[in-house]
């Protein structure tokens, strides 16, 4: 497995934290007595976490204070380096922090980056970041990308979310568990054609379904009315674009579900009925999160992201149709 320079550095830092820091016996001190004191105070915890508790400093001999401070600084530096690890959902790399700046390259979905700095230049709710990437021979290239299509492997303000752990080539990170959340669109599609994102498309379909008495006219034929035409467009060939097609429809159904839930709750005439609806909806929420997680976990390649998103969209749509049915019969 090939490590980029930034990932290799982070890997070394992670190994330091994961394997050296807990083992205080090999701390950066030649004084065995100081090692024993720190080990007794902190046990197996990181020094920077351990000595956040000011009371622990009272048990450190004066001659050992320098060694302890060095240990803390090394841990903090390692954590800071790891916090800069991130990846892109794909899209344009620009020469400056705006869409008006020149395109100087493009990134693939899941491409690893180093998040150099938050420029504080905002666009659609997210800032632009200066990032660096590495080519196959280790040469660094710097540019700018919008935070709405960036992720970080640690919590970092300004990026869309934490990265799927499967994207990391850092073995230390794979010790933790995670699964992907919803993606976001390439910056170039944000202000693009919204013809397929119209709520009226689904509203018209549902109205047509209600007006007919044919068997199976329960509204399920309307699921996919927005995402399917979007997915059929040649321009939406990337995983990022496909996810956006699905999640745009998911938002429509989710908005309707929330509205219909409130309507149904308001229409109920007893606390017992309201509590029953509330408990049922909470159970459904838990089930959907667990069930659709299988779509993320069972499939290989980047298509597992689309599979999981599609599950969320379709199950949300079906639940809304059930709520609409209860509203009509209540």
Domain boundaries, the chain: 5-82, 85-176, 193-329
**Beta carbons within 10 angstroms of residue 5's beta carbon:** 13
pLDDT at 82: 46
CA distance 323 to 315: 12
- Are the beta carbons of 109 and 241 closer than 8 angstroms? no
Determine which helix (DSSP H) or strand (DSSP E) holds 328, and give its type and residue range.
helix 303-329
Strand ranges of the sheet holding 126-134, from the earlier edge strand across to the other edge: 103-107, 91-94, 140-146, 126-134, 112-123, 85-88, 150-152, 161-162
Q: Terminus-to-terminus CA distance in the chain, angstroms?
A: 60
Report pLDDT digits (tens) over 89-138. Answer: 888 899 999 989 999 988 887 888 989 889 999 987 889 999 998 765 56
Region for 60 from its dihedrals, namely left if φ exceeds 0, alpha if ψ lies in -120 to 50, beta otherwise? beta
CA distance 308 to 31: 54
Backbone phi, psi, residue 118, to 5°: -85, 120
Report pLDDT digits (tens) over 25-50. Answer: 334 444 567 777 777 887 766 666 67
CA distance 231 to 309: 13
Q: Within 13 Å of residue 295, how many CA atoms lie on the same side as its CB? A: 19
For the chain, list residues with pLDDT below 70: 1-32, 44-49, 71-83, 135-138, 169-198, 213-217, 236, 295-304, 330
CA distance 255 to 198: 13
CATH number, span 85-176: 2.30.30.40
Q: Which two tokens stand for residue 116?
A: 């150099």
């Amino acid at each position: 497995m090939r490590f980029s320079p930034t990932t290799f550095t982070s890997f070394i830092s992670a190994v330091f934290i994961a394997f050296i820091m807990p083992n205080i016996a090999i701390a950066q001190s030649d004084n065995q007595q100081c090692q024993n004191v720190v080990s007794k105070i902190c046990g197996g915890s990181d020094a920077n976490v351990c000595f956040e508790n000011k009371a622990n400093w009272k048990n450190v001999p004066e001659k050992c204070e320098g060694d302890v401070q060095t240990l803390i600084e090394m841990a903090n530096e390692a954590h800071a380096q790891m916090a800069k690890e991130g990846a892109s959902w794909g899209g344009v790399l620009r020469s400056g922090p705006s869409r008006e700046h020149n395109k100087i390259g493009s990134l693939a979905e899941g491409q690893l980056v180093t998040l150099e700095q938050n420029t504080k230049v905002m666009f659609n709710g997210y800032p632009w970041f200066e990032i660096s990437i590495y080519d196959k021979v280790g040469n660094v290239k710097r540019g700018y990308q919008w935070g709405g299509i960036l992720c970080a492997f640690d919590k970092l303000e300004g990026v869309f979310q934490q990265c799927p752990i499967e994207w990391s080539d850092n073995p230390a990170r794979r010790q933790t568990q995670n699964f992907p959340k919803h993606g976001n669109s390439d910056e170039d599609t944000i202000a693009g054609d919204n013809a397929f994102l119209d709520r009226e498309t689904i509203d018209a379909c549902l109205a047509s379904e209600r007006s007919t008495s044919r068997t199976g006219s329960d509204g399920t034929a309307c699921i996919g009315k927005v995402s399917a035409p979007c997915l059929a467009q040649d321009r939406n060939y990337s995983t990022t674009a496909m996810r956006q097609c699905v999640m745009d429809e998911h938002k429509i159904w989710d908005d309707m579900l929330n509205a219909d839930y409130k309507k149904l709750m308001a229409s109920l005439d007893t606390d017992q009925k309201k509590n029953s609806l509330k408990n049922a909806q909470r159970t459904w929420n838990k089930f959907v999160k667990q069930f659709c997680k299988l779509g993320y976990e069972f499939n290989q390649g980047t298509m597992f992201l689309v599979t999981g998103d599609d599950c969320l969209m379709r199950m949300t749509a079906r639940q809304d149709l059930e709520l609409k049915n209860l509203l009509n019969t209540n």
